[in-house]
Structure 1
Amino acid sequence: MSPAALVTLCALLWAVFLGAHLALNGRWWPWLAVSLLPPPLFAAVPLALLVASAVAGSGPGAVLAAGCLLAGRSQSGVNYRALRRGSTRTDDGSGIRVVSWNTQHWAQGRDPDRFYAFLHTLPADVYLLQEYLNGYEGGEVWDIDDEERLRREFPGHHLAVDNNSVTLSRLPLAAPPVPVGACSLRVDLRTPGGVLSTYNVHIPVQLTVMNPLGAAFFRDMRRRHLARRREYDALVADLLTNPHPFLVSGDFNTSAAIGDIRRMPRTARDAIGANRALLPASWHARWRLRLWRIDWVFTSAAVRAVRYAFRDPGGLSDHLAQDVTITIPHEELNH
Structure 2
Amino acid sequence: MVFLCALLWAVFLALHLVLNGRWWAWLAVSLLPPVALAAVPLALLVAASVTGAWGAAALAACSLLVAWPQNGVNLRALRPRSAPAGLRLVSWNTQHWNQGGDPGRFYGFLRGLDADVYVLQEYLNGFEGGEVWDIDDEERLRAAFPGHHLAVDNNAVTLSRFPLAGPPVPVGACSLRADLRVGAGTLSTYNVHIPVQLTVMNPLRPAFFRDMRRRAAARDAEYAALVADLRGNPHPVLVTGDFNTSAAIGDIRRLPRSLRDAIGACRSFLPASWHARSRLRLWRIDWAFTGGGARVGSYRFRDAEGLSDHLVQELTVTTPCSESEI
Q: What range is the shorter-chain TM-score in?
A: over 0.9
Letter of the structure 1 residue corresponding to residue 268 of structure 2: A
Task: Give the CA RMSD over aligned residues.
Answer: 1.3
Q: Could you say if the C-alpha distance between residues 135 and 331 of structure 1 is closer, same or farther in structure 2, counting changes exceeding 3 Å? A: closer
Are 1:204 and 1:227, in contact at CA under 8 Å, matched by a contact in 2?
Answer: yes
Pairing 1:50-65 to 2, within 5 Å after superposition: 50-65=45-60
Q: Distance in 1 between matches of 2:159 and 2:143?
A: 12
Are 1:252 and 1:295, in contact at CA under 8 Å, matched by a contact in 2?
Answer: yes
Question: Deviations 1:160-218 (Å, cap 9, x if unpaired)?
Answer: 00000000000111111100000000011111130110000000011001110010000
Q: Which residue of 2 aligns with 1:296?
A: 287
1:20 aligns with 2:15: yes
Query: Residue 291 of structure 1: CA displacement?
Result: 2.4
1:258 aligns with 2:253: no
Q: Could you say if the C-alpha distance between residues 138 and 280 of structure 1 is closer, same or farther in structure 2, counting changes exceeding 3 Å? A: farther
Letter of the structure 2 residue corresponding to residue 80 of structure 1: L
Q: Which residue of 1 aligns with 2:168?
A: 177
Gaps of 5+ in 2: none
1:75 alignment partner, one of 48, 70, 74: 70
Question: Deviations 1:235-282 (Å, cap 9, x if unpaired)?
Answer: 011111111110000000111111111111101111001111111011
Q: Which residue of 2 aligns with 1:285?
A: 276
Pairing 1:135-150 to 2, within 5 Å after superposition: 135-136=126-127, 139-150=130-141
Q: Could you say if the C-alpha distance between residues 61 and 256 of structure 1 is closer, same or farther in structure 2, counting changes exceeding 3 Å? A: same
1:124 aligns with 2:119: no
Are 2:182 and 2:321, in contact at CA under 8 Å, matched by a contact in 1?
Answer: no
Q: Which residue of 2 aligns with 1:43?
A: 38
2:228 alignment partner, one of 237, 253, 260: 237
Q: Which residue of 1 aligns with 2:91?
A: 100
Gaps of 5+ in 1: 1-5
Letter of the structure 2 residue corresponding to residue 240 of structure 1: R
Pairing 1:303-322 to 2, within 5 Å after superposition: 303-322=294-313
Are 1:270 and 1:298, in contact at CA under 8 Å, matched by a contact in 2?
Answer: yes
Query: Residue 328 of structure 1: CA displacement?
Result: 1.9
Q: Distance in 2 between matches of 1:314 and 1:34?
A: 31
Determine helix, strand or coil for the equivalent of 1:127: strand
Letter of the structure 2 residue corresponding to residue 64 of structure 1: L
Q: Could you say if the C-alpha distance between residues 44 and 301 of structure 1 is closer, same or farther in structure 2, counting changes exceeding 3 Å? A: farther
2:212 alignment partner, one of 221, 232, 249: 221
Q: Which residue of 2 aligns with 1:164?
A: 155
Q: Distance in 1 between matches of 2:259 and 2:6?
A: 34
Q: Which residue of 1 aligns with 2:193?
A: 202
Q: Which residue of 1 aligns with 2:262?
A: 271
Q: Distance in 2 between matches of 1:203 and 1:277?
A: 24
Letter of the structure 2 residue corresponding to residue 134 of structure 1: N
Query: Residue 108 of structure 1: CA displacement?
Result: 0.7
1:188 alignment partner, one of 179, 192, 197: 179
Q: Which residue of 1 aligns with 2:124?
A: 133
Letter of the structure 1 residue corresponding to residue 147 of structure 2: G
Letter of the structure 2 residue corresponding to residue 49 of structure 1: L
Are 2:171 and 2:177, in contact at CA under 8 Å, matched by a contact in 1?
Answer: yes
- Detail structure 1 runs of 4+ shifted over 3 Å in the superposition: none
Query: Residue 299 of structure 1: CA displacement?
Result: 0.7
Are 1:269 and 1:301, in contact at CA under 8 Å, matched by a contact in 2?
Answer: no
Q: Distance in 2 between matches of 1:160 and 1:238?
A: 18
Q: Distance in 2 between matches of 1:9 and 1:115?
A: 52
Determine helix, strand or coil for the equivalent of 2:159: strand
Instruction: Indicate the larger mover: 214-223 or 128-137.
Output: 128-137
Aligned residues: 323
Instruction: Provide the TM-score with structure 2 as the length reference.
Output: 0.96
